[in-house]
Structure 1
Amino acid sequence: MSNQVKGRQYTDPAVYSAEHKAFEEAGLPTTQAGWIQRAKDVAEILGRDAAQRDIENKSPQAEVSLLKSSGLLKVLGPKKYGGGEQSWEVGYRVIREVAKTDGSLGMLLGYHLLWSTTANAVGTDEQQDSVQQVIISNNYFVGGAVNPRDSDLNITSEGDEIVFNGAKNFNTGGVVSDLTVLEGVLEGTEDHIFTLVKTDQAGIQFAHNWDSVGLRLTESGSVKITDVRAPWGDALGWDPETKRPIPSVLGIPFASLLLPTIQLVFSNFYLGIAQGALAAASEYTLKSTRAWPFGGDNKDKAIDEFYILQRYGEFRAHLAAADALTDRAGAEIANLYREGGQYGSVVGDERLLKDNVNANYVQPYPQDISKTNPPYTLSTPATFQNLGAEKQTNGHTNGSAPNNRASITAQRRGEVAAFVAHAKVVTTDTGLTVTSGIFEMLGARATGKKYGFDRYWRDIRTHSLHDPVAYKKREVGRWQLLGEIPEPTWYT
């Protein structure tokens, strides 16, 4: 691709040739459990040399090719275009599994799933369908030049086209992407426009300056945008004739679902990274950690020492609680999309939305909600995991009419955003505690660079500064004490 630069090293997709062939022969999974297992398979492959790849810090061209051949990029896409037609419950689980062995690739997958479904929240029905067709049928990987905190990408209107000029300080995955989501402000207004463009063009130039302590393989450096053009018809949720936002698309609470959706993407790869850290630490302790001989209650084996058992038990319990909370938050997000008339990435398919329903899994949402006891309306993850193949569906309980997005109220959206904030707080705090605390059970030798135990903490620490978790705690506190739902912002 033209954005590859001399001196920058890229991993070679050929290193996974055997895996590509195996995934191609196996085809896409057909059940929820099958998709989660596929993610575990990818995680196992990435985990073989994750620490070394983190050290080498090459651009992850091979790793993204593995996400492509495995089908994980298409897990949410419509079957009619070659996708898995799963909803966000499964999407979130897939992200989490990959992040267990490679936080960078878990993050890239999560961002891709969000950006590839952007039109589902802010596009017209026609745009949703056309975007899915392009992405899924071509198995494209999507990066994003989206950082709404800074109004540094300007849009002008020239005839039937919109023209982007400016820069973004962060552009996750763009260097190895096929498509890029652009977001900017239309000149003379305060209105933001989202669209997708081909990455490989002269007007998109990456600085290749991503050099943070963590998430080293995400290629999240800055990008310069010069005269990048798109048809007005590709401005998501805008009327190409009037060149104004369509009120029925962008003027409703549903249009802001991208924010809680991506916030829960963050929680899932934080959680996956922390779970992976605990698993790797456990394996090391079983094989290599030595008992301390000067403690006064000496043991022959480290696994018999009280403090080691206590810490592992504490971390496992906290991660199990975070896991359950995050699963339920994911189901709440998926319910909102169902209520808006969507099954996975399929818009307005009444057969999927109305007939294929697991009524035991998706419960009716209560009307009378206590401000100090936000609803916990979903059944246990065990129900989700153990459905028979013919029952593994994700319909809305009462069925949804096509394009029912206007039915989602600000209150309903806000309640789910608060639930997502719960998960963000817990996964951030627990993730940082676990990934820094594992060293206490490992011993000094485990700080060796070759083991890569530090990468788990570095990855969560780097991304958890994306938007301060203190403000999520504030949102939850106002919800608890005052019954105030979080107001939609670019980070809520």
Structure 2
Amino acid sequence: MSEPQTAVHTGDPYLQALPQQSAHRIRSDAEAVEIARALAADFAREAAQRDRERRLPIAELNAFSQSGLWGITVPRAYGGAGVSFRTLGEVLKTIAAADPSLAQLPQNHLAVVDHLRLDGTEEQKRFFFGLVLDGVRFGNAFSERGSRTVSEFQTRIEADGDGFRVNGQKFYSSGALLAHWVPTVAVDAEKRPHLAFIPRTSEGLRVINDWSSFGQRTTASGTVLLENVRVPAEHMLPVWRAFENPTAAGPISQFLQAAIDAGIARGTIAETIAQVRSHARPWLDSGQEHAWQDPYSIQQVGNLQIRLRAAEAVLDLAADKIAVAVDAPGADSVAEASIAVAEAKVLTTEIAILAANTLFELVGTRSTLEEYNLDRHWRNARTHTLHDPVRWKFHAVGNYFLNGIKPPRHPWI
């Protein structure tokens, strides 16, 4: 396999050096959760300030990938921990509760690791899994602006001797700005998508820091420009195969997103409780001394906790269905996994947005003041839950149970 090229963007302030030492090797599910909790406590301290200033979490990101958490899904046969999907969900929820932007940064990295498991050659698996375990981060250059649908790509690959050339433009490229490699989706002459593994330092690759969303502000996203980028054949992965036959690729992609939404809800509810206990005032007709004694505030917090518990429980059930589909892929097992994840995605979307709305309702007008930046909870929830239209999750579930129609196989279901 080819090694990364020497940096050519001498004026690029966002280029990140490859890890100087190998990342920590996590050995068990319990260790993964323990490390996530320790990191989350640190990440939470300046999360509000980073959001307010749009300050990229470079130090935090380096600590995150060096912790070994970015490699926990590498199969044990290749030196990874191969953690369960329940554990993976718990890790993402834990980080998202502290800083949703940091939790989103490995979202596509983890999807790429899964695609390597599914479609990589043995040489590719050994090489790229080794990089991941050493602490190398994958960004992404998947989605594009302006196409008729999300699945229609204009970025092209063309044969060039013993390799390929990639040309195109990408957007919504979470993590690409601070990544070491930028896996890029491009289509061949038959419009089949391939994943080109491109070092961040490659000639012809530019990542522009122009992400302007009101939420998930520090996900190191933006525009990726690819001009005649050379890609060796051994760095090309035929990801279209993951959806030609039944695999868990789609449910896994959606599961990662639902886990982050659940984490956003978890963090928002914790913020709501802290604010009601410390700063909110009781309504004058309640007859209570403190806001936390107000019967309607108590009811609302109870409602949030119940809905969060339900969402997380269904997410765990979805994790189990994915595990079955990974071990025994087939039309039925993959459909069951997709439906379970769709159910979880509905519930995690609803609780993330409800929790953010309820925060303002219970804390009152002071919660809207810019100095507290509490609106970041709603902005993050609203932004991240827009990744895929939840209205189509209802459709997939209803069509499955009412008409016996299995959901389509693609990354968005």
Which AA in structure 1 matches 2:97?
A: K
Map 1:50-449 to 2 at 5 A: 50-78=47-75, 83-136=80-133, 138-147=134-143, 149-187=151-189, 189-237=190-238, 251-254=244-247, 257-293=248-284, 295=285, 297-339=286-328, 408-449=329-370
Tell me which amino acid in the other structure corresponds to 2:200: T
| Alignment correspondent of 1:397 | none
Q: What is the CA-CA distance between 1:195 and the residue it aligns to? A: 2.6
Alpha-carbon distance in structure 1 between the residues aligned to 2:238 and 2:158: 17
CA distance in 1: counterparts of 2:303 and 2:236, whole angstroms: 49
Q: 1:422 to 1:80 in 2, by over 3 A?
A: closer
Name the SS for the 1:198 alignment partner: coil
Structure 1 residue 166, shift from structure 2 partner: 0.9
Q: CA deviation at 1:215?
A: 0.4
Q: Does 1:42 align with 2:44?
A: no
Amino acid at match of 1:175: L
Q: Which residue of 1 aligns with 2:3?
A: none
Aligned residue identity for 2:269: L
Take 1:489 and 1:336, find their aligned partners in 2: how far apart are those partners?
A: 15
Partner amino acid, structure 2, of 1:144: N
Letter paired with 2:72: V
Q: Which has the larger displacement, 320-329 or 144-153?
A: 144-153
Q: Post-superposition shift, 1:89?
A: 2.5
The CA deviation at 1:156 is 0.4
Q: Secondary structure at the match of 1:167?
A: strand
**Aligned partners of 2:198 and 2:235 also within 8 Å:** no
Letter in 1 for 2:246: P
- Identity of aligned pairs, percent? 28
Q: Identify if the C-alpha distance between structure 1 residues 335 and 223 changes in structure 2 by more than 3 Å, giving closer, same or farther.
A: same
**Aligned alpha-carbon RMSD (Å):** 2.6
Shift of 1:78: 4.5
1:2 offset after TM fit, Å? 6.0
Q: 1:459 aligns with which of 380, 389, 395?
A: 380
Question: Paired residues, what number?
Answer: 399
Residue segments in structure 1 that go unaligned for 5+ positions in a row:
14-19, 239-244, 340-407
Go from structure 1 to structure 2 and tell me whether the alpha carbon gap of 1:131 and 1:30 turns closer, same or farther (over 3 Å shift). Answer: closer
Contact 2:137 2:179 in 1 (8 A): yes
The 2-side partners of 1:57 and 1:198 are apart by 25
Q: Is the 8 A contact 2:198 2:231 kept in 1?
A: yes
Gaps of 5+ in 2: 1-6, 144-149
Contact 1:11 1:61 in 2 (8 A): no
Q: Given the two structures, how large is their TM-score scaled by the length of structure 1?
A: 0.76
Q: Is the contact made by 2:101 and 2:218 (CA closer than 8 Å) also made in structure 1?
A: yes
- Cα separation, partners in 2 of 1:491 and 1:4, compared to 1, 3 Å: farther
2:170 partner letter: K
Greater shift, 76-85 or 477-486, is seen at: 76-85
| Partner Cα separation in structure 2 for residue 475 and residue 334 of structure 1 | 20
What TM-score results when the alignment is normalised by the length of structure 2? 0.89
Q: Is the 8 A contact 1:52 1:450 kept in 2?
A: no
In structure 2, the partner of 1:354 is none
Q: Distance in 1 between matches of 2:393 and 2:299?
A: 30
The residue that corresponds to 1:485 in the other structure is 406
Contact 1:3–1:175 (Cα < 8 Å) also in 2: no
Alignment correspondent of 1:364: none
